[in-house]
Amino acid sequence: MVVAMTVAMGAMTAACGGDASGQGSGDTGIDLPTDGNGTEGMDGTVDETGSTVPDNCGASSFMLDHQPTNVVLVLDKSYSMIDNAWDHDSDPMTATVTRWNSLYHSVEFIVGEFDEGLNFGAVLFPSIDVPDNDWQTACLVETEPDASVEPMGGAAVLDAMPGPDSLEIYGGTPASAGITTALEHLRSLDPELPRAMILITDGAANCLEGTTNNDVFDIYDENLPLLVASAHDDDDIPTFVVGIDIIDGIATYPQDNPYVRLNEVAIAGGFPQPGAEKFHNAQDEDELRAAISQITSQIGCTIPLEMAPELPDLLSIFIDGVEIPFVESCEGSDEGWHYTNPMGPYDEIELCAGSCSGLHSVGTLSVTYNCIPPA
């Protein structure tokens, strides 16, 4: 990660005394060098936390050149997405809409919110060119993404999708083929950048390779969790799973419950939800948007520091010029940051979900060393 200095080093600041712009105004809980009198190994003063602050301790601010995560949206474009309408707003007085309508508007909302901080691309399964529900064409998926992952790629993602009111949507649920295309695309990109897939579907995968006739629609594709697990274990590419209107106990295929199958895929993807429901299960459009938004707040939230601070207690983190608080852990905290290794080395931080979403919205992150690291 490239770091560009924006404020001249050596500028004295009240933050060293623990009250102005830096984390010196609070206690991170990290023990700094002191001998009880606060002078062992260095000349300086002791702040209100008992931490030693050396004399001539200047402050310097840096912009972190945040590298957005490459994200492929793997989107279910099967016939069931228009064959099924739902109460998208939990209001019985309004008309129902298709699941595809809600998916389109949810993707539109997410890329509009986070296009600055995430590189989006998309794969539709089956292909947009599938003309009907004939089993011979129902499982076709493009070998290249419908929208390549690019900075500010949200507009291309929306251009690749049929419009929200389209009813020209056909085919099965070849999720494995969709994941394969997305995975091969991510593998072709810079491996130094974080990568992730978000699978959004309204049912269990079918289109098992080698099946014919109605078996194309009726037999579950057990390759999907294996493929997703391989992406996570071998390539460090997680898959986040969102289900649309999935009800436990209802099998849309003779031998399979989509709820159980999507749980399996979410576990294989590396980021299962806590509790019995491992995937994000949306029962209306608000929940669908919230699920995708929650997932984006888990992506690309670990940020390396070019220089580890000499005094980790005196580091300040800013997103779009606004300081975010230090927290001991993101458990139970939506806003804030902490060191990924609380015992050191202090060369990497993690942003909590709300702060991470803020970073994805604006794309800028800065750090102030309230005591300059050694050259």
Percent of the chain with pLDDT over 90: 62
285-299 confidence digits (pLDDT tens): 999 999 999 998 888
* 316 close to 23: Cβ distance less than 8 angstroms: yes
For residue 37, pLDDT over 80 is answered with: no
265-280 confidence digits (pLDDT tens): 999 999 999 999 999 9
For residue 179, pLDDT over 50 is answered with: yes
Measured between alpha carbons, how far is residue 157 from residues 149, 307, 333, 359 in Å?
A: 9, 37, 32, 21
Banded pLDDT at 309 (limits 50, 70, 90): confident
How far apart (Å, rounded) are the C-alpha atoms in residues 198 and 118?
A: 13
Sign, CA torsion 49/50/53/55: positive
For residue 17, pLDDT over 70 is answered with: no
Percent of the chain with pLDDT over 70: 81
Measured between alpha carbons, how far is residue 188 from residues 23, 28, 117, 124, 182 in Å?
A: 40, 40, 20, 19, 10
How far apart (Å, rounded) are the C-alpha atoms in residues 303 and 300?
A: 8
Q: In terms of DSSP H, where are the helices of 98-205? A: 99-114, 154-160, 175-187
Sign, CA torsion 234/70/77/248: positive
The amino acid sitting at 226 is L
DSSP state of 374: P
For residue 16, pLDDT over 70 is answered with: no
CB atoms within 10 A of CB 257: 18
How far apart (Å, rounded) are the C-alpha atoms in residues 264 and 166?
A: 31
* 297 close to 351: Cβ distance less than 8 angstroms: no
In three state form, how does the secondary structure of 214-247 look? CHHHHCCCCHHHHHHHHHHHHHCCCEEEEEECCC
Structure tokens of 118?
A: 């995430």
* 323 close to 370: Cβ distance less than 8 angstroms: no
Structure tokens of 142?
A: 């493009």
For residue 301, pLDDT over 90 is answered with: no
> 57's torsion region: left (phi>0), alpha (psi -120 to 50) or beta?
beta
Task: Give the pLDDT confidence score for residue 82 in this predicted structure.
Answer: 97
Task: Give the pLDDT confidence score for residue 31 in this predicted structure.
Answer: 44
> 363's torsion region: left (phi>0), alpha (psi -120 to 50) or beta?
left
Angle (CA) 148-154-157 rounded to 5° is 55
Domains and CATH numbers, the chain: 3-65+303-369 (no CATH), 69-296 (3.40.50.410)
Residue reference for tokens 């695309």: 185
18-32 confidence digits (pLDDT tens): 333 334 333 444 444
How far apart (Å, rounded) are the C-alpha atoms in residues 81 and 141?
A: 16
CB atoms within 10 A of CB 129: 11
pTM above 0.85, yes or no: no
38-92 confidence digits (pLDDT tens): 333 334 444 444 445 555 466 788 877 667 899 999 999 999 999 999 999 988 8
211-255 confidence digits (pLDDT tens): 999 999 999 999 999 999 999 999 999 999 999 999 887 666 656
